[in-house]
Amino acid sequence: MAGRFEGRRAIVTGGVSGIGAGIAARLAREGARLSLWDADAAGLARACEGGSHTLRLDVTDAEAVQRAADATASALGGIDILIASAGITGPNATAWDYAVADWDRVIAVNLNGLYYCCRAVIPHMLRGGYGRIVNIASIAGKEGNPNAAAYSASKAGVIGLTKSLGKELATSGVLVNCVAPAAVETPLFSQMTAAQIDYMKSRIPMGRFGLVEEVAALVCWLASGECSFSTGAVFDVSGGRATY
């Protein structure tokens, strides 16, 4: 797919590790100019050495996100693609034992932060008459994982937001979709208990975790001009776990 994103300007949030980094690497290989938004200063420094535009950012700060979008549009000459990948898992606990502060933090990053990013970049895309937004949801947002109520609720919110945005923007040239991976081996596993990881694997009919490269392949199609008649949709990468 060399050159598929030639001339396109892409933002990847959470773009220096895990799924975000894998997506960013493929976009770059296929010709996109990148802006990586992340809270990881060391990771951003490494990415900057590779030639990417970078911004250290807390996505829970709506005003900072707006400034980041405006600065990125100025630096790259516009915004064509947003991959909203920044997220956290939060702790594993039953809903009634879940600390309110932990709940608020997961919702703030995974749902509110993603909304702030979409809200900030869409006007830039509308001015250009073209855009592709791909939000990273989760199979947990469809099925609800036990002992992960905040994460599941936040990702269900991402799915609902994606559907609303897809309808609002359907005739604008800006398409909005999301992907719902089952468990993919990333650094986020370090935030989970062994029991939670074993549970997630047991739910996947293929009997293995997904690969970052598999998610990136689907995301990059959704982020490309080849995706032209899908919007407000949810695409699974679940090894057979969800078939609806």
pLDDT value for 243: 63
DSSP-assigned states of every residue in 212-243: HHHHHHHHHHHTSTT--S--S-EEEESTTS--
pLDDT value for 46: 86
Positive or negative, the CA dihedral 226, 162, 199, 194 is positive
Q: What is the pLDDT of residues 79-108, one digit of tens each?
A: 999 999 999 999 989 999 999 999 999 999
Count of alpha carbons within 13 angstroms of residue 158, beta-carbon side: 37
Give, as one character, the DSSP assignment of residue 244: -
**Has residue 126 got a pLDDT over 70?**
yes
53-56 and 234-237 strand pairing? unpaired
The percentage of residues in the chain with a pLDDT greater than 70, rounded to a whole number, is 99
Q: What is the pLDDT of residues 140-170, one digit of tens each?
A: 999 998 999 999 999 999 999 999 999 999 9
Threshold 0.85, pTM exceeds: yes
Per-domain residue ranges for the chain?
A: 9-237
pLDDT value for 48: 80
Could you give the residue ranges of the DSSP H alpha helices within 38-99? 41-49, 62-76
Query: What would the two tokens of residue 239 be?
Result: 């090894």
Rounded to whole angstroms, how far apart are CA atoms 244 and 242? 6
CATH architecture, range 9-237: 3-Layer(aba) Sandwich (3.40)
Q: What is the pLDDT of residues 12-44, one digit of tens each?
A: 999 999 999 999 999 999 999 999 999 999 889
Query: What would the two tokens of residue 168 be?
Result: 């609002």
Q: What is the pLDDT of residues 113-124, one digit of tens each?
A: 999 999 999 999
Q: Is 151 a catalytic residue?
A: yes
Candidates 98, 130, 151, 244; catalytic one: 151
Beta-carbon contacts of 168 under 8 Å, excluding residues fewer than 6 positions away, are none
Rounded to whole angstroms, how far apart are CA atoms 16 and 24? 8
